[in-house]
Amino acid sequence: MNPFITQAVEITEAYIKYKDAPIPIREAMCHKIQYTSMLPGPRGDDIFVGRCRGRRVMHVGSFAFFGMPDYTPESATAGKHGGYCFDFSARYTMKLSNEEKKILDELDTFWRKESNQATVRDSPNTDLVFDTGFTGASDLDMLVTRGLPGIKEDVTVMPEGDFRSGLLILLEAVEDTCRFYLKCAAEMGRKDIAKSMSGILEHAPATVAEALQLILIFELLFHERHYELHRLDVALGDIYTREIDEGTLTEDQAIAFIRAFYETINENGDATVCRLVMGGKGRRNMENADRFIVAALKAELMHNRVTPQLTLRIHNDMNPDILKLAYDTIRETGTYPLLYNDDTVIPGVAEAFGVSLKEAESYYPVGCGEYILAPHGPALLITNWNIPRTLDAAIRDGNPESFEELYQVFLAHVKIHAGKLANYLRLVIDTHNEKNTFLMASLLINNCISRNKPILGGGARYIGVSVMGHGYTNVADGLIAIKKLVYEEKYCTLGQVLAALDANFNGHEELRKVILALPKYGNDEAEVDNMVARIWRDLGSAAKNAAKEYNLDFQTLASANPSGHFMGKQMGATPDGRLAGASYAICNAPTSGNDKNGLTALMNSIIRGTPENGGATTNFKISKELITNERSKFEALFGAYWAGGGQQASFAIINKGDLEAALKEPQKYPNLLVRMGGWTARFVELEPFVQEEILRRTLH
């Protein structure tokens, strides 16, 4: 029998056996089953262990991407969620014997009632159905500093109780995993891996190899395919510096270790996530951490894969050599590292989350770039606020006599939807608390052990929601069009605009031509740029107020996920002149091709935006010629961008004509990387309509 079906059966049997046991004990006993059975031993050329064996059917307590409870071949709904996760797509997409299909049918029936997501969807307290996922970023500095024995000691001295008992059972499972790897390595004669595993079991990491190996094990068991690595440079900086200075490790050896670390993540992780963040303000060991960053960037030059999403936080007082090396790396990899400007982002995060500047220094762009306060608390990620649809509802709601009246109707719809989202996410959190304590997350998120409470049950300092909205730019451009043509110039009525939208502009071509000729975001047009900023502020305020109503510490809005590609495909025409089925503008960027006044104008538009948000990704399509042959110009442009308040930059560095050539001869361009929005992808593997959107982006 397929081993993952066997594993799913064993986890289900443990769940039933411990159904009436305390929540932490039931979860811990299910954890014990899922670990070593999912892990293969080392291959002959592996530097580190910690690979996934293959596709799993059942997960406990980790963040995973899955077929959802209503999955059918005709309605292939996929999503992400935590807790008790069963892959409802498995019986349709796996090769199965008759016996295996019968078993999966029985498991499917059971988990359609018992999985966390099914419980949420069956609730009578919401009319929303969203794909939600709970995730967080571990305190890697604590993990490396304390090590497995130190963390076990911290748990052992906790007050007696079910939570403590569950954590101890979990740690036994982690130790069993390490012993499994130790045994495999010894049998293969791999003394290097065996030495690392022995060290991990006995003490806090003393070498870079031990530290990276420990992190891989914990991240695999916590995030599995959704690695989130918060400030790896802080966790490794002191050990790296000591080994280099003592001569027990060379830079080349360290780079080889880091590259192998990246390779494991790339093999295990989902291609759309897996973030690794370094740099920034508020690091306890900045000089040592920066030395590690140099090695990490050099390793990325050799790695050059889709994951991990190497991310560098920069600021005005940083070592300028680090930024120059980052630009070198971007030039060669075509996209990494992604850059975040702490001087702008930290004050914005403090305001958006309602925390101090010091606490905001811990911001972390999780997954696609949605901010969380790592490692002070998790966030639930929720996709698909279709903001153009909200505007569409508003312009069909009565006949406002002025633009400001229309805008207030729009905000009324925004507030209603923000409240629905907050209510839904409150339901998700409460459901999780009734079924799970998320033991692995509780080990690695601050305060859970000291407070003796699980992560979602009062252990984490902050619990909140990151809402991923799409179509901000389309809404701003559309509002400007309505403002000018309906209310200022009286060129047409709102009814005529609606008729054109309903007809997808068929028979209304002249109106669309006029709309398209109006000022658009991305061209240093203050009125349009300020409208984008106004929408961000007003939607963010509505989300924040809704969070208070539903007892959430925060609800922020992000524009980091590229789902606007797929959401636009399902949406009718919009008042910015966009036709039905076309992609939305992706993230915090203009509609592709609308920025016609050059890179400086685009930057000026972006800088006018508000930093008070939950993550705003901006993709720049830059020619290889600019970053290579005109490097001083490139650095001056982005130096002005950062100094002026630019929040973030994600790059696609390409030669002119590469994308067009890749469409004709894809076999010659297998490693041409582009930014989808929140993640990097190989251009030749994308759907044609997404390739077309990327082709339309302006090349600077």
Torsion of CA 436, 439, 445, 449, to 10 degrees: 110
The string of pLDDT tens digits covering residues 469-502 is: 999 999 999 999 999 999 999 999 999 999 999 9
> Residue 566: what pLDDT?
85
Mean pLDDT across 179-192: 94
What is residue 459's three-state secondary structure?
helix
H/E stretch holding 148 reads: helix 140-156
Last residue of a domain, one of 592, 617, 642: 617
The string of pLDDT tens digits covering residues 30-51 is: 988 877 666 888 888 899 998 8
Worst-scoring range by mean pLDDT, 183-197, 316-330, 418-432, 591-605? Answer: 418-432
What total of structural domains would you count in the chain? 2
Last residue of a domain, one of 135, 160, 178: 135
Q: Which domain holds residue 409?
A: 379-617
The CA distance from 466 to 490, in Å, is 39
The string of pLDDT tens digits covering residues 250-290 is: 999 999 999 999 999 999 988 888 999 999 999 999 999 99
Mean pLDDT across 454-473: 93
* Residue partners of 667: CB distance under 8 A and separation at least 6: none
Q: Does residue 320 form part of some domain?
A: no
Percent of the chain scoring above 90 in pLDDT: 74
Q: Does residue 155 form part of some domain?
A: no
Q: Does residue 531 form part of some domain?
A: yes
> Residue 141: what pLDDT?
97
Q: Does residue 569 form part of some domain?
A: yes
Mean pLDDT across 668-684: 81
* Residue partners of 542: CB distance under 8 A and separation at least 6: 411, 414, 415, 418
> Residue 580: what pLDDT?
97
**Strand 338-341 relative to strand 309-314: parallel, antiparallel, unpaired?**
parallel
pLDDT, greater one: 552 or 676: 552
Sign of the torsion angle spanned by Cα atoms 530, 534, 540, 544: positive
- Any bridge partners for residue 134, and if so which? 380
**Strand 619-623 relative to strand 648-654: parallel, antiparallel, unpaired?**
parallel
* Residue partners of 321: CB distance under 8 A and separation at least 6: none
Last residue of a domain, one of 594, 617, 640: 617
Q: Does residue 260 form part of some domain?
A: no
* Residue partners of 345: CB distance under 8 A and separation at least 6: 313, 363, 611, 647, 648
Quickly state the pLDDT bin for 686 (edges 50, 70, 90). Answer: confident
DSSP 206: -
Mean pLDDT across 207-233: 93
Beta strands in 73-220 (DSSP E): 78-81, 84-86, 132-135
The string of pLDDT tens digits covering residues 613-665 is: 999 999 999 999 999 999 999 999 999 999 999 999 999 998 878 888 988 88
Q: Does residue 63 form part of some domain?
A: yes
Q: Does residue 286 form part of some domain?
A: no
Q: Does residue 447 form part of some domain?
A: yes
The CA distance from 361 to 70, in Å, is 40
Sign of the torsion angle spanned by Cα atoms 89, 95, 98, 99: negative
The answer to whether the beta carbons of residues 619 and 599 sit under 8 Å apart is no
Q: What does the block give as tokens for 67? A: 């077929």
Mean pLDDT across 217-244: 93
> Residue 691: what pLDDT?
85
Mean pLDDT across 22-34: 92
H/E stretch holding 240 reads: helix 232-246
